[in-house]
Structure 1
Amino acid sequence: MLFPLLDHSEENLSQKEWDDRLLPFLSQSLVAIDDDNWLQQLVRVVLKMITSFSDDGDRDDKAFLYKFFGFSLRTSRNEEVIKMLLSALLHTSHEELQDREGIAVALSFSCPGNIGS
């Protein structure tokens, strides 16, 4: 599972290349862990991080977290957890364009077979 990440860092890969390698790894990790309680706690931390970003310097990190949120939503098989994730996502701030775009991307990534763009 770690093979796509070996010998690479943020210094030698562009943000898009890094996302393209890291997101499938994270998705596989979520499937392998398969623990809804752990997933709920992780998503709470991700949402807290999303709301803590405030300037354009964090734009790529915030966008990545929305993508990761979408993968988390796709991974859960528990109806109650999915409802909690959707509710949490839809209760995030919609004031900033980046947040509205992030929510749309997260929902796109939640669709099976879609790794987003």
Structure 2
Amino acid sequence: MTTVLAIVLSLVFLPLGLAKIAGVPVMRQAAAHLGMSTGLYRVVGALEVAGVAGLLLGLTWMPLGLTAATGLALLMAAAAVVHLRHGDPPPRAVPAAVMALISLAYAATATTAG
């Protein structure tokens, strides 16, 4: 189950993180909508890509996977809060909240498996 969750999370976070780093127009628009600079949004993207690396490497060394999953969960919880604080309707915060929960599920399964 840990492997499945790592792959699912990686398939979501890797393209989004890379798009933020590359400054794809839709990501620049999202950053502007949330009142963030493109540079800060690139940092968020780099954290997402680093989280993916940590999740995948964590399949062989659990402490790294736990750290990465915890970091991604915190990042996504913060994203949900940022959406709500900027006046987005609650459904706009749901994807970030769901990704936070999936990241926590990875951490829980890695802990019980390890």
TM range (shorter): 0.3 to 0.5
Give the number of the structure whose residues are more often helix, by fraction. 2
TM-score (norm 1): 0.35
TM-score (norm 2): 0.36
